[in-house]
Chains A and B, each alone.
Chain A
Amino acid sequence: MSPRTRNASRATKRASVLDQRAAQPLATTNGARAQSDRIGVRKTYKLYIGGAFPRTESGRSYEVFGAKGELLANASRGTRKDIREAVRAARKAQAAWGAKTAYNRSQILYRIAELMEGRRDQFVAEVMAAEGMSRARATRAVDAAIDRWVWYAGWADKYPQLIGTVNPVAGSYFNFSVPEPTGVVGVIAPEESSLLGLVSRLAPVIVSGNAAVVIASESRPLPAVTLTEVLATSDVPGGVVNVVTGLRRELVGHLAGHMDVNALDAFGASSDEAATLEEVAVENVKRFVRPPTAGLARYDWMADSAQSPYLVGEYVEIKTVWHPIGS
């Protein structure tokens, strides 16, 4: 959040950008006059922890501005305690999520896509406001995010056949290796790509049965919060995805250092940030995914290469099982 944007005229701009009706012009059947007569009902952007929408325990918030400097909303300024609560919720939810059949997880991820599709216009308006995109570009980004859920939904019951192996050991044993979710995964969402970037990182984490604690984009958190509303209504069990908004510098270190987090996706971190986080993450030997070598500035989230079953493989453990063959 840059100080220059603080001068924006709040009252008028805010109403015009994210009031629900303005966000969904296609759905409006009233005349323009009737619309302007009514005072819009604004949304409070809250955290998403354990399937509920608490405000941050700190009671604090920070202002979120649009690409043109207009105030969009106040977002929750989450704290270390919120991160801890989120990790606890994730740990509690993970075993049951990981134990669901792959077919079931597949359908639930597909359900996320279905519900996002229903809110497509809202997401487009939020991404436009957050990222300063044209409607056409924002629409492409939202569509790609929805399609990404569909794509990963399909991997739930297939990636183990890609990553698992049957091992022809030199002896009378049946031996195979299967992937299992690593457990609780921290996700540092990309700062720039508020929705597509987040979905691109989150879907491969949860498709295998991990639970996630996400730190949303600091400057563009609102699409992430709206995504949590989709998750809450799409059969994703509470606690499987937890989203904390706030100032990254106040949050990322606590997530990276948390002893009950098994892996950290720092793909969305800056390279300086990531170097520090990688060191902190060693404390409990976290699996650590680094930012791309070339940096995120030129990263193409729309590309097919932003999705991969091998990304699912970054957040699984390979378990090898031996059993004698005999009578």
Chain B
Amino acid sequence: MTLTKKPESRPAPNSWGLAAGDNPWEYAPAPEATDHIHIEPEYGLFIGNEFRPSKPRKTFTVINPATEEPLARVAHASKADVNRAVGAAHEAHRTVWSKLPGRERAKYLYRIARIMQERSREFAVVESMNSGKPIKESRDVDVPLAAAHFFYYAGWADKLEYAFPNRDPRSLGVAAQVIPWNFPLLMLAWKIAPALAAGNTVVLKPASTTPLTAYLFADVVRQADLPPGVVNIITGPGEIGMELVTHPDVSKVAFTGSTAVGKMIARAVAGSGKKVTLELGGKAANIVFDDAPLDQAIEGIVNGIYFNQGEVCCAGSRLFVQESVYEPLLDKLKARLGTLRVGDPLDKNTDVGAINSAGQLAKVQELVESGIEEGAEIFQPDCELPTRGFFFRPTLFTGVSQSHRIAQEEIFGPVLSVLTFRTPEEAIEKANNTPYGLSAGVWTEKGSRIFKMVNAMRAGVVWANTFNRFDPTSPFGGYKESGYGREGGVHGLGAYLDLSGSGSNGR
């Protein structure tokens, strides 16, 4: 990597000696190699450890959002395919997987974790090509965390009685899992690892724009010699997901995605007795007090909203700044935005990659326009965007009021709304003023204030003096309309077990 300093420099209004929006750093391209990647021209549905075309045979094209070039064609599942996949999972649960001792299930999961580690570069490159996320994120976050999830839950498979003493934990059966496009492989791992550890079999439907790492994972399943039918992966539009979750032989439904779709699913399965967990939208508050370490806070704010192009359900999309540090913080933040490198996801220097789809880009643009129309002031660094692909500049709005759409609705893009507050009470009131409750951030050096804020946040994950950290041992999930149930940790394991017990009033 070579660095060249721009010849001209302007007066320094802040600690970096940068004018807002000015970027003195230019990087030579550092593209990740793709010559070791093999993407099949066409992927069938993965049912019973075999790739099979859909019936009737129908496919759709998956593209690279950074280039708009096609990557592969994948099978478009029909209702009959859903039946086949659930049937395979049901049979595998009944005849093999539920009878296998936990210690043996564990070894399969350890195998999967190991193979994912062995093939990590391949996963990272395909993930970036298909989702648009920067390679440094897929390489350093998505893929290692996905493998870690399998490694973590592998260890639980033969210890369920210790996790849930006196509750006679039992597997539920077939888990139907529908996941989004923002963390395709990581969400797959969050879903499949605890499900298998608990003794369930799964039918997973990846998002229709991002199925490639799921099909790559299917190959890992084959390499690990999992019994056929334990893991099944089908692709198709949302209606196929609805067919899947409502299938009568499905006992567990796990969905990650928008609150609107989550509600549709919950209504569709109401009264069926299926166990449900939902991980839905968010509009997280990231609250910066005047005693916060500002430079660290800037990094946390940037990581909070520009990580993965802001396509993160727990993104810190509402920044609350204490009035006394508003101006210095905004100066630093704007300068920092100017140093973000937007572009080719496969370039190892890239900070902000491509938005996942044309549809999502249009949604981001629409909401940004609403912010301008409603009177908020927009700031975007003056960076060049590639001519092809779905890119959007890191954006922040100041002068945002609580009622603006950009302060209320989940944008799911690199767009930050900045608001201010004077007292902790005001920050609490404003931060909780949302139907969502997935995550929150607090920045202050004062310990007692951290805990006051942590207690007051109506959110399932609170990051104090950090943001957007994830770990398989750490439960993740929402309050209020951000969903229910947790993923990660022992709590995430319980979501995949029948814990109704064997007492006089038990199952």
Contacts and interface: CB of A to CB of B under 8 A. Distances in A.
A292 B501 CA distance: 12
A290 interface: yes
A322 B263 contact: no
A287 B484 contact: yes
A323 B474 CA distance: 12
A292 B505 contact: yes
Interface residues of A, number: 42
Contacts of A171: 469, 471
Interface of A is mostly: mixed
B484 A279 contact: no
A122 to B, nearest CB: 28
Interface string B452-480: 00110101111111100101011111011
A262 B482 CA distance: 12
A177 B270 CA distance: 29
Q: Which of A271, A290, A293, A305 has the most CB of B within 10 A?
A: A305
Interface in A268-327: 271, 274-276, 278-279, 281-285, 287, 290, 292-293, 299-300, 303-306, 310, 317-324
B255 to A, nearest CB: 12
A29 to B, nearest CB: 42
Nearest to A303: B504
Interface stretch (B28-36, B171-179, B486-494): B486-494
Contact of A285 (B167, B480, B503): B480
Given A175-B474, A285-B266, A165 B460 contact: no
A324 B466 contact: yes
Interface in B183-233: none
A103 to B, nearest CB: 17
B460 A319 contact: yes
B483 interface: yes
A162 B461 CA distance: 19
Contact of A293 (B465, B466, B500): B500
Interface string B301-313: 0000000000000
Contact of A276 (B262, B271, B473): B271
B505 A303 contact: yes
Nearest to B271: A275
B473 A321 contact: no
B450 A323 contact: yes
Given A282-B267, A323-B466, A318 B477 contact: yes
Contacts of B459: 319
Contacts of A287: 484
A306 B500 CA distance: 11
Interface string A144-177: 0000000000000000000001011111010101
A253 to B, nearest CB: 13
B280 interface: yes
Contacts of A169: 469, 471, 473-474
B491 A323 contact: no
B148 interface: yes
A30 to B, nearest CB: 45
Contacts of B465: 323-324
B503 A304 contact: yes
B157 interface: no
Contact of B480 (A262, A318, A322): A262
B446 interface: no
B484 A322 contact: no
Contacts of A170: 148, 471, 473
B10 interface: no
Contacts of B460: 317-320
Contacts of A305: 501, 503-506
A167 B432 CA distance: 26
Given A177-B491, A300-B504, A305-B504, A317 B469 contact: no
B454 A321 contact: yes
B474 A320 contact: yes
Contacts of A275: 270-271
Given A317-B479, A322-B469, A299 B505 contact: yes
Given A290-B273, A305-B506, A320-B461, A284 B435 contact: yes
Nearest to B435: A284
Contacts of A279: 267, 270-271
Contacts of B148: 170
A168 B369 CA distance: 43
Contacts of B259: 285
Contacts of B464: 321-323
Nearest to A275: B271
Contacts of A271: 271
Most buried by B among A170, A180, A287: A170
Contacts of B486: 318
A276 B262 CA distance: 18
B6 interface: no
B287 interface: no
A165 B475 contact: yes
A183 B178 CA distance: 29
Contact of B475 (A168, A299, A318): A318
Contacts of A319: 454, 457, 459-462, 479
B452 to A, nearest CB: 11
Given A320-B462, A322-B474, A303 B503 contact: yes
A127 B484 CA distance: 37
B503 A165 contact: no
Nearest to A280: B270
Interface in B256-270: 259, 262-263, 266-267, 270
A285 B483 contact: yes
B72 interface: no
A281 B267 CA distance: 9
A66 B429 CA distance: 49
A168 B471 CA distance: 9
A303 B504 CA distance: 7
Contacts of B499: 310
A167 B280 contact: no
Given A285-B278, A285-B280, 20 more contacts: A165-B475, A168-B473, A169-B469, A170-B471, A275-B270, A278-B271, A279-B267, A282-B266, A284-B435, A285-B266, A285-B481, A285-B482, A318-B475, A318-B491, A319-B461, A320-B460, A320-B475, A321-B464, A323-B466, A324-B465
- Sorted nearest first, the 10 A-B pairs with minimum C-beta distance are A275-B271, A305-B503, A169-B471, A278-B270, A279-B270, A305-B505, A282-B266, A167-B473, A303-B504, A323-B464
Interface of B: 148, 167, 259, 262-263, 266-267, 270-271, 273, 278, 280, 435, 450, 454-455, 457, 459-466, 469, 471, 473-477, 479-484, 486, 489-491, 499-501, 503-507
7 contacts: A168-B473, A175-B474, A279-B267, A293-B500, A318-B477, A321-B454, A324-B466
